[in-house]
Every structure is written in C-alpha cells, then in structure tokens.
Structure 1
C-alpha cells in the first residue's frame, strides 16, 4: 500500500469558500464591534435583540454611521476625563471607562420626589461641580466586572480581517481575480475595526438597570449627540470614512460580465467617495470657522436643525444611501458569474490557520 506525507489542499476554491470567508469575517467584526448602551429594566429580551439587530444591519448598510457615533462617544469621554482632571480627580477615580460607563447609562440619580434617572458624564461633572453629589466610588475593575466584553471575539475579528486582507493582497500580487464581495468585505471589516477601536474602553452588555425615553429620560440613546470636540478628531474621522469608499475604488478595473455592471460599480464608488470626502472636508472647515458653524445645527441631541443643515444632510444622505444599496446589489449580483481565476487559490493560503 502506497503512503504519502503532508498533502496540500486543492489549488482551487469554490463559491461557497469565497462566501464563507467573507461572511464569517463580517459577522465576527460586526458582532464584536457593537457596544450599545445599557438597556432599561422595562426592555424585554426581544426589545434588546431587535435593537442590536438594527445596529448590525446599519453596520452592513452604512458602517460609517456606527463609526460616527463611536467617535462622538469617544470624544465625549475624552472631554469628560479632561474636565475631571481639572477638578483634581486622578485616573483611578475617573477614567475613560468611567466616562463611557456614565454616557451609556451606568450611573442613575436618585432624588426624593421621583424615580432614578440615568445621568451622563457631563451631568455627573455638573452635579459634582455644584456640590449636589459626590463622585461615584466605582473602580475600573468593578466596571469591567459588570461588562461582558469578549476578548476572544475581538481577537478573532482582527485575525480574520488580517487574513482576508493579506489573502486579497496576495491575489493581487499573483494577478489573480479578486471578487467584489471580498473587496467590499475588507472595507466593511476595516471600518468595523475602527469603530471597535473607538469603543475599546466602553463596557459591553452591562445589565445595570436604567429607565427609558421619558422626561426625565429613562435611557441614554445609542445615537445621542455624536459631537467631536476639535479639528483633529474631525479630520481623523473624515479620513476614516473616506477610506471606506476608497477601498471600493481599488476595484475600478474589476472584470464584470457586462459593461453596465462595471460602470455601475465605478459610478457608485465615485458618488460614495465624493459625498464622504466633501462632507468630511466641510466638517473640518466648519470646526475651524465660527461663521460657517452658524449654518449648522442648533442642537443635534434634540434633532432641531436649521434648514441649510437639513438640506446639507438629507440630500447627500439620500444620494449616499442609493449608491450604497446599488453597490451592495452589485456585490451580490456579481457572484453569479466570476472570472475563472477568481477560484484559483493563492499557493500559500491553505497553510495559514483561519476560520
């Protein structure tokens, strides 16, 4: 009987292999990315489930939106830490973890005449400053004990993204076809990891009871007031959002079955990149120019906006949504017919451990 030693896998991959590699990477990245605020004790299992499902769907359709809110919460937490330092509190007494915990509804104020209400980090600072409360004595360890953060999932998200990106670069070096699904998955995964970085010090799935959406409010909404504080934060976020569309532009010369598919891909990529770049540039300019800011929002948390801001937001957002949906359609539609070398494996890829 003949015997053989180490035998490599086949030098081709199937459609299911491509889909599984992309979908598994996206699922792990999106799942580990989300750090939603603390639910109300009135919220049922299905309320919490559908809230998370909506944010997961948003992470697929418009990954820049969760990243925007994550960046806003990060900026708010940084401001809170600075304000507390100015009051004389050290890292152990008030850190980014404390600020995130407060802004997600972790601290609730109890008064004589009404039920407990959650208070944000800014409100904690105000109440301490006016000698209404003392600083809540909660350590970082106690906050993380309440958190259900999954470090393994975060590691897998980084590993899978690195694997998919490395494999795609290797395919480009060896002049093998890259599918639109792979390129789009890399863009989504990298954007999700950027969001995860902003939320890295935010406690995950804390079950501390808070109330929801009354006056006074019962719960701190996930999409509350995503305002950045300086030009550098605006600039970094503008670069990050434009990078999402830029990755898609790398597929400018992709081989599609028909010409209209190729031009649809190129056109939608240009629309997305142009809108994101223009919007990001405007935000940076507005941050530097006080007169320009007067065209903007009165308040974002209350959703009261002047008409120039409404037009500036609604029209580009509608165009972006249409371009993004068209691009998603093309990513899925292109899987019906791919170039033959899209199924050829990179020679060394089968020997690298991955999901």
Structure 2
C-alpha cells in the first residue's frame, strides 16, 4: 500500500515549465505575427474608386502593407501629413460652426480620404477635400455637412478587438525584446527589424487613430450652382486648367508618386479619370516644421534600432556584410 502511494506521488505533477530555449520557428512565427497584425490594423486607406471590386481593394491594401513593412517611415510620413491636414480643417471650420463637435478630426479625415462628393447642378460630380469644402461653405454654395462623428465611425470597419490584440502583441514583443537586451541574451536580426517596424507602425497608428478604416461609401453634397458658376465666381484664379478636380485652384494639391513623379519616366500608375473619383493614397504630405518632429523622432529611432546589430556574431562574413 505504501509503495502504491509512493508511485502515485511520483507520477502526479503540477505545472511544468517549458524548455528555456527558442527554436527557429518560434522566432519566425512571433516576428511575422507581430508584423502582420500591426501593419494590417494600422493601415487606413482612402475610399476606393466606385468601380473597384474586392480584388482591387485587396490589391491596394496588400501594396500598402508591403510598404508598411519595407519602408514604415514612408507610411508614417503620409499618415502625419493626413493628420496635419485634418487638424487644420478643424481650426478652419470653427468659424462656420458654433458647436465644437460639428466638425472634428474625424470629419477632416473623412473629407480628405474622398468621403465628400460634390454634385453641382447639371454638372459632373467630383470629390472635394476638407480645404475645398471650407471654401464652398464660406461662399455659401453648400452648408456644413450634417453628419456626426459617430455616423462617420459607423461607416468604418475598424475592429476594436483586432486593434487591441495588435497593441497587446506589439507591446509584449517590445517588452520581450527589451528584456533580452537587459539580460544580455542573444537576439536575432529578424527580431530587431520587427521591433523597428513596430515602433514606426505605432506612430502611424497614433496619427490615424481618428481616421475611419475600410470605408466604402461617401456622402453626396448637392448645390444649386453649376460647376461653371463656381469657376466663374472664382475669377482668374480658376482660369488655369485643373489636374485633379475643378477646385484645384483653392489650394495647390501636393504631388503624388503615381502621377507627378512617375510622369518623369513616361509612366502613370494613377487613375486617369478626371475629375478624380478616388483620392490617391500616395500623396506627399504637406506638413509644417513642428509637425515634422514626430516623423523625425520615429524614423531616427527606426534607423537606430537596426544599428544595435552592428556587433552581432554571424556564421559568415558574407552574412555580416548583408
């Protein structure tokens, strides 16, 4: 009887810790999962073209996920420019509205991402951004859109749970990375690159925190004026042919990679339809000196994190050079 009891005591065990080692698949899986979660949930692209199907929408998102992995500082700079434009629109609309919540950052993002379609009388409709909409309101062509921030957010397909899981995974990954550095444990270059991407992507996430995600439809703003009426009333400023929309004269649009840059190589990657029915995502940001501080700090951190691996040991000299 005593022998049986002794045997049972030997067989029954409580919590068993896993081995204190990391396999190659553990490192790859943890890094890739963190990268995919962060880039997928952080991206907030502009409204698609009305004729774009599911494949085209997915292709655009896949392209920007690629850039978010290869050049996250580029995506961060674009996000910072969009945030700056939305913030300026809030200051601009304060003189038109008495209520502070009638035009918010969310409204500014929504307009700049192609959510406002102007329908002039007997004219072709075209998109207007926040700056152009402020001009139309000031001139009395349209009223301030009666859409609340909550209604805009209802059009968004942002998954709060997905963002929370991404934030938790990214935070845990950074804590683990810092812990290994503090304990002077070996770290792979893949983990270093992932940590750098996470830092940059968190800056993008903050800039796009109020921007709706995966919005498919916008709102239509009707005016009794024709497009010709608006342009004639603007005078000589509107005499120059437009490149994107008839209201280009209100504020000079910043250049895009697909139109202005690739034009030098006799290539065009943007939609050739004019006026535009989709605002491109690759527009270069228009930001001031103070607004450049956040991208500067984040991109500097992004580059510096890679330098940590300067003295890492590599199996061969070729791998070290690469």
| Fold shared per TM-score above 0.5 | yes
Q: How does 1:1-355 map to 2 (within 5 A)?
A: 1=8, 2-208=11-217, 213-228=272-287, 230-262=288-320, 264=321, 330=322
- 1:12-60 deviation per Cα after TM superposition (whole angstroms, max 9, x unaligned): 1210000000000000000001100011220111111111111011111
- Cα distance in structure 1, aligned partners of 2:45 and 2:177: 32
Are the structure 2 counterparts of residues 58 and 38 from structure 1 closer, same or farther at C-alpha, using a change threshold of 3 Å? same
- Cα contact 1:71–1:237 (8 A) shared by 2: yes
- 1:204-233 deviation per Cα after TM superposition (whole angstroms, max 9, x unaligned): 1111059965221111111224110x3211
For structure 1, the 5+ residue unaligned runs are: 265-329, 331-355
- DSSP-derived class of the 1:171 partner: helix
- Cα contact 1:147–1:204 (8 A) shared by 2: yes
- Cα distance in structure 2, aligned partners of 1:16 and 1:173: 24
Are the structure 2 counterparts of residues 225 and 124 from structure 1 closer, same or farther at C-alpha, using a change threshold of 3 Å? farther
Deviation at 1:115, TM superposition (A): 3.3
- Cα distance in structure 2, aligned partners of 1:122 and 1:224: 15
Counterpart position of 2:222: none
- Cα distance in structure 1, aligned partners of 2:89 and 2:309: 42
Larger-gyration structure (1/2):
2
- DSSP-derived class of the 1:196 partner: helix
- DSSP-derived class of the 2:191 partner: helix
Deviation at 1:150, TM superposition (A): 1.1
Counterpart position of 2:229: none
- Cα contact 1:40–1:218 (8 A) shared by 2: yes
- Cα distance in structure 1, aligned partners of 2:143 and 2:96: 12
- Cα contact 2:153–2:212 (8 A) shared by 1: yes
> TM-score scaled to structure 2, two decimals?
0.78
- DSSP-derived class of the 1:105 partner: helix
- Cα distance in structure 2, aligned partners of 1:87 and 1:133: 12
